[in-house]
Structure 1
């Protein structure tokens, strides 16, 4: 009897140890010991033919190159209340989680320590963000550098000396695009003008079309740049319907998205200022597997890293004169070498920003 009781007691102790090892561990997936078998991309929605789509492409390519599964997890448009539970659920299930924006970084700060063996790649983060999360890597895109190129090209292609800019919301990141755009315009044409408008959201393409039409017909702008998400389609339509003015897209090579579905619309998109999120994300995933990614830090990637640049597709090469292409190559080289200094909206005083805008008012 004593022997039976001893055996039962020993079995109970072993079971207790086993259960302790398999407790409520959010990190019990394959992320342990540096083994990653899955990656998730958390976003509002894909299908925007711009920022989210090109980001998802980078996640898929990174997953394919490292032979792991990938999944896009959408929390929906204008549903900020769903962002935190969606990000948390992704961390529960996937080994690497990719997401964009400062709001996602703030959400992750609440629970990153619960997932010490998972890895988080956060991109499009403000340059002054202080990343204290040891399992998160943050990327800031120097969109002001890329839009310096866009502004310079717009002026070089303009016949009127007035170019246009239509933004979604007048928030810091879009203002940062505008600062670079204005300075690029002034670099190429000191007396050039920039017509500026903001829609107030990222979905109202009709409003974008209306504002772009005003810039074309009232301000005499003949090259227009949109930084307005899916609303930017309206700018392309305005350029198409008002004498085929040139348009510059954003985030992805937007002409490529319309080549099959609407080739006439595609033919007004001279180029796009790409935030090559796909290149950056794929690189970050690859460096995670090679052990080269500096988790716990924030890095700033721009023209020198090849991630905020103009689309130099065949259409660009056919329609931009050779001397202008050479000029743009020189500008890009000077930015890369640090010979051209470009201001940023981050940390800029409001009166300085307003003076910059007013100085090119169309």
Structure 2
């Protein structure tokens, strides 16, 4: 479900863009030419990296859209295991020093590093996804994950036959609390009789909560043993394990960030992916790059919510329409959130 055009209007009417990037360690570099002044967008991935079919891959789609439209080289860099803030700072600095503009850190883990690097390169526009970093040349791209998760909760409450549903969070951090809070509220507002089993895989990202499908699978299996027949994962790459467990048990999974029903790597599980809570990360990445091309770089905090189509719920799986009352309940909930009559918790 694409929402780029509306998202860009929200992102202050950004209009055209020129991005490029070259390779360095762990980087893929593509384009018509790799040098000169034709340098633009570079992204540095969060844990889990490219291929997570979720958070990082959404950012990559934004990069691909920019590359296609503007015809320049792009770069995307993988994280390393056990890396420190100093490693992230070095990565961002290297991209800025080479002349890439903008440079985007995909994930809140880049917060400390970005604050330091942005101050050193005032002529480069930086972007960070899922965190707020103060700086004259920094755009903080944040999302109302709780709102999309509320819609996922409404759907789960309508789909369950056991009156038990699950939530698997990758890491026990405030960002993922937003997913949990919205989901639980959506479930309870729809059917107070439904029980929500919530679990976090790890306390820190370093323990692999966003990058361990095996952990996600084990957590989902535990919830399924407790009669959960719908499981929602906000766990990055680990969510693939949750989806696998759901498919094996022939229950519903709810994906996250990207429309996981449409992800090729998850094709063998797609019939079990009822819907996905979406974040238009690709639209936000593209919007920032476009603003730089226009010579009017976005800075400050930009929140992408349900009202602006910055978050939403997918309906790609035809079986979604077969859940009694789900579509109507989701549309009613969406209208309530947009008009302010439904206030969605963040914690």
TM-score range, shorter-chain basis? 0.7 to 0.9
Deviations 1:106-165 (A, max 9, x none): 21222323322211121111xxx4x43111111111111111111111001111221111
1:293 Cα deviation after fit:
4.7
Does residue 205 (structure 1) correspond to residue 216 (structure 2)? The answer is no
Unpaired stretches in structure 1, ≥5 consecutive residues: 1-34, 346-362
Does residue 165 (structure 1) correspond to residue 170 (structure 2)? The answer is no
Separation (CA, whole Å) in 1 of partners of 2:306 and 2:82: 31
Q: Which residue of the partner structure matches residue 151 of structure 1? A: 153
2:318 to 299, 315, 318: 315
Q: Which residue of the partner structure matches residue 215 of structure 1? A: 223
Q: Which residue of the partner structure matches residue 252 of structure 1? A: 258
Q: Which residue of the partner structure matches residue 138 of structure 2? A: 136
Separation (CA, whole Å) in 2 of partners of 1:326 and 1:78: 45
1:82 to 76, 80, 87: 87
Separation (CA, whole Å) in 2 of partners of 1:78 and 1:273: 29
Separation (CA, whole Å) in 2 of partners of 1:291 and 1:337: 34
State the secondary structure of the residue aligned to 1:216: helix
8 Å CA contact 1:75, 1:86 repeated in 2: no
Q: Which has the higher contact order (CA 8 A, sep 6+)?
A: 2
Unpaired stretches in structure 2, ≥5 consecutive residues: 1-36, 203-208
1:320 Cα deviation after fit:
3.5
8 Å CA contact 1:137, 1:298 repeated in 2: yes
State the secondary structure of the residue aligned to 1:146: helix
8 Å CA contact 1:62, 1:283 repeated in 2: no
Q: Which residue of the partner structure matches residue 226 of structure 1? A: 233
8 Å CA contact 2:157, 2:194 repeated in 1: yes
2:43 to 26, 36, 41: 41
Q: Which has the larger radius of gyration?
A: 1
Separation (CA, whole Å) in 2 of partners of 1:79 and 1:315: 42
Q: Structure 2-normalised TM-score?
A: 0.81
Separation (CA, whole Å) in 2 of partners of 1:280 and 1:269: 25
1:206 Cα deviation after fit:
2.5
1:82 Cα deviation after fit:
2.0
Give the 4+ runs in structure 1 shifted more than 6 A. none
Separation (CA, whole Å) in 2 of partners of 1:274 and 1:285: 21
Q: Structure 1-normalised TM-score?
A: 0.77
